[in-house]
Amino acid sequence: MFRVILAAECALLRESLVRLLTHGGFHVVAAVENLDQLVRAVTDLRPDVVITEVRLPPGRREEGPGPVMEVRRRFAQLPVLVVSPDVASAQAAQLLAGGRSGAGLGYLLKDRVGHVADFLDAVWRVTAGQTVVDPLVVRSLVAQHPLTRLTPAEREVLALVAEGLTDQAIAERLSLTEAAVVKHASSVFAKLDLRPAEGNRRVRAVLACLGQASLSSAV
């Protein structure tokens, strides 16, 4: 059973997530409300995954995912799933651009927690080392990226690739053949100078590219 540390300022949110995670087969070893408690808990308990709000006290009103970046800095190999109240593209880009340690990383909107199956699936995937990003965040990042070299069809495929969908799933979503999806994806990688690595590495490469571009446009 995977051991989870949960960090959320709101007691109601903490209690709700503890119930969801326990029901989903996880063992919540600590539920904390601020960054200091989170760092101490991770240091003492060494969990398999951390689920945290994007901002925690102290300093929760500051721009940027400060608490999450601090946890990633101190515990680089620890899978982290971030829950955010809004899309906050610049914050998501900052976090994703720094997510190259090989550890699982996720960024979900709070509304997604209400979709219990999707939320639990995201926790399992992040714990297993995958990258999981809320579809609305992905679309926001893609919308801000100067993808002038891509066709509309290629942009659609890129957004779904970044969500982690397989070629078959993308083909079904867009009513294309799988061969057409592979052709579009290959063109995207070539135009963005990305090597078409498989699986999670491919997702990380795309998200890193989008995140860096979004950060540049936000400065």
Number of domains present in the structure of the chain: 2
Write out pLDDT tens, residues 68-83: 777 888 888 899 999 9
Residue 140 lies in a domain: no
Single-letter amino acid, residue 38: L
Rounded to whole angstroms, the Cα distance separating 152 from 156 reads 6
Residues in the chain: 219
Q: In which residue are the tokens 């890193």 written?
A: 208
Note whether 152 and 130 are same-domain residues: no
Q: Residue 51 has which token pair?
A: 């689920």
Sorted by sequence, the CB contacts under 8 Å of residue 143 that are 6+ apart come out as none
Q: What is the CATH number of the domain that holds 160?
A: 1.10.10.10
In this prediction, residues 180-198 reach a mean pLDDT of 77
pLDDT tier for residue 8 given thresholds of 50, 70 and 90: very high
pLDDT tier for residue 189 given thresholds of 50, 70 and 90: confident
Q: What is the CATH number of the domain that holds 84?
A: 3.40.50.2300
Residue 74 lies in a domain: yes
Write out pLDDT tens, residues 99-131: 556 688 888 998 888 889 999 999 999 999 888
Indicate the pTM of the whole model.
0.69
Note whether 49 and 77 are same-domain residues: yes
**Angle at CA of residue 121, ends 204 and 160, nearest 5°:** 45
pLDDT of amino acid 195: 61
Domain containing 213: what range? 145-218
**Angle at CA of residue 137, ends 134 and 142, nearest 5°:** 125
Final residue belonging to a domain, choices 113, 134, 155: 134
Note whether 195 and 169 are same-domain residues: yes
Write out pLDDT tens, residues 21-45: 999 999 999 999 998 999 999 999 9
Query: In the chain, pLDDT over 70 holds for what percent of residues?
Result: 74
Do residues 103 and 77 lie in contact, with contact meaning Cβ atoms separated by under 8 Å? yes
Residue 83 lies in a domain: yes
Q: In which residue are the tokens 């999707």 written?
A: 118
